[in-house]
Amino acid sequence: MAKAGINKRRRFVAPIGGAFLVLAFVGLVTLIVTSIALTGRILDNRGDKELLENIIRPVLMWDPPPFENPADVNPVQMLHFSMWAALMNSEYPFNENHEMEVPASDLDAAAARLFGPGAVTLRHRSFGDYDLSYYFDPARRVYLVPVAGQLFLYTPRVVSIERSGDFFNVRVGYVPPAGVFTANLQGALGEPEPDKYMIYVMRRTGNTYQIVALRDDPATIGEMHMPG
């Protein structure tokens, strides 16, 4: 009788164990499918790409060299990035000399938005060149920005977004300053092709992204070293 009872319990245990295995398998499949769906949304969401292009634009337009730490970026380039991040996100009044007055604190805030709070410390000073200079008034801690003409600089085109742990590797094309459209050899109009590609390593913070590093594009390097 005891043996019969044990066998009876085993008959019940086996189906229950099998049910748990089925549920575990279903859960695993669901997790995989959800992860694939999430990755697909990240890779294909045009809204994310447009957001990233707007964030990257004031950096990419100056075509900086690669860096692994924003604190290592040339201080003058960092002022350029921060100035244009501020100008692109705010409106400033003009003084009697037709110059915009941009508070140094706005550049500090722009740098924090671009790279994260505390990632860089701006060294405020006058900078620029003959064509476009930014005069820093240390007494008032404002920059005087003259009315500038069209800047013929690169614009970004996000090609792909790949997640890597807590970071996103964003492959970005550098579209040359040839206007919105350019002519090909046959004279037909079309969108200009990027001159080159770079990888912007981004970290998502809330509803925005911050730049962690800038790297050469492995695919582009591979093409350059392919035997001809």
Q: Which domains does the chain have, with CATH numbers?
A: 69-146 (no CATH), 153-224 (3.10.450)
pLDDT-derived band at 24 (thresholds 50, 70, 90) equals very low
Question: 């924003």: which residue's tokens?
Answer: 70
Residue 203's φ and ψ, nearest 5 degrees, are -120, 130
* pLDDT of res. 194: 95
**Over residues 89-99, mean pLDDT:** 92
CB burial readout 161-181, b (16+ within 10 A) else e: beeeeeebbbbbbbbbeeeee
Asked which of 37-46, 88-97, 134-143 is least confident by mean pLDDT, the reply is 37-46
Centroid of chain to Cα 112: 14
pLDDT in tens, 142-185: 999 987 655 668 999 999 999 988 899 999 999 998 644 444 44
pLDDT-derived band at 47 (thresholds 50, 70, 90) equals confident
pLDDT-derived band at 40 (thresholds 50, 70, 90) equals very low
> What's the half-sphere exposure (Cβ side, CA atoms, 13 Å) at 82?
32
